[in-house]
Amino acid sequence: MRRLGLSFAVALTAVALMAGTAFAALTFHSGPTVTFSGASATATFNVSGLGNDPATAQLFVNGTALYSCTNKGGNEAPGQNPQPATGASPVVDLSSSQKNGRDDVHVTATLTAPLHIGAKTAGCPGNNWTATLSSLTITSATLVISQNGQTLYTKTFTP
């Protein structure tokens, strides 16, 4: 009976130690902040508490694309139907920390949209017009930090 109790205590201690590693607390030492510049957004932060398992960060941007309409005579008119636009940063590996489990991170995403779309979709006066991308505007950026397929942190920022 004593051995069983001792075995149970050792097993419980091992589980408690592993749980502490598996559910490590994400700690931001600075940020996260997001700066917006034109059609790009950059998230900057210093983080620790990711433990030994690989973790990643990615920034997603949403916004609108405006199009100019040009007729066969070369006359321009603004399109009347803003279109949704999106973009995403590359996935950034956070496991390359060099400072006792802390990592300085900069993640940049750029809004993208097709250069040309259908005249009717852009809201041009007629179907014989050409719709060309004229501007992109970011409306939000969402930072996502994941580890082992689980989202640890997500936050949306606006300009």
Q: How confident is the model at residue 97 (pLDDT cuts 50, 70, 90)?
A: low
Tens of pLDDT, residue by residue over 98-110, are 556 677 899 999 9
Q: Is residue 10 domain-resident?
A: no
What is the rounded average pLDDT for all residues in the chain?
84
Q: Is residue 59 domain-resident?
A: yes
* pTM metric for this prediction: 0.79
CA distance 100 to 52: 11
Q: Is the pLDDT of residue 22 over 50?
A: no
Q: How confident is the model at residue 20 (pLDDT cuts 50, 70, 90)?
A: very low
Q: For every residue of 72-105, which 3-state class applies, written as one string?
A: CCCCEEECCCCEEEEEECCCEECCCCCECCEEEE
Cis peptide, bond prior to residue 32, ω within 30 of zero: yes
Alpha helices per DSSP H over the chain: 2-22, 119-122
CA angle, 85 then 61 then 55, to 5°: 140
Q: How confident is the model at residue 51 (pLDDT cuts 50, 70, 90)?
A: confident
Q: Are 44 and 33 in contact (CB under 8 A)?
A: yes
Q: Is residue 16 domain-resident?
A: no
Question: Averaged over 107-123, what is the pLDDT?
Answer: 96
Question: Which H/E stretch holds residue 59?
Answer: strand 55-70
Q: Is residue 141 domain-resident?
A: yes
pLDDT of amino acid 13 = 40
Give me the residues paired with residue 92 across strands.
57
Integer angstrom CA distances of residue 112 from 95, 106, 115: 29, 20, 9
Instruction: Give me the number of domains the chain comprises.
Output: 1
- The whole domain housing 61 covers 26-157
Question: Averaged over 57-83, what is the pLDDT?
Answer: 95
Of residues 143, 112, 110, the one with CA closest to residue 37: 110
Q: Are 56 and 26 in contact (CB under 8 A)?
A: no
Q: Residue 143 burial by CB count (10 A; 0-12/13-18/19+): exposed, middle or buried?
A: buried
Q: Is residue 1 domain-resident?
A: no
Q: How confident is the model at residue 148 (pLDDT cuts 50, 70, 90)?
A: confident
Q: Is residue 81 domain-resident?
A: yes
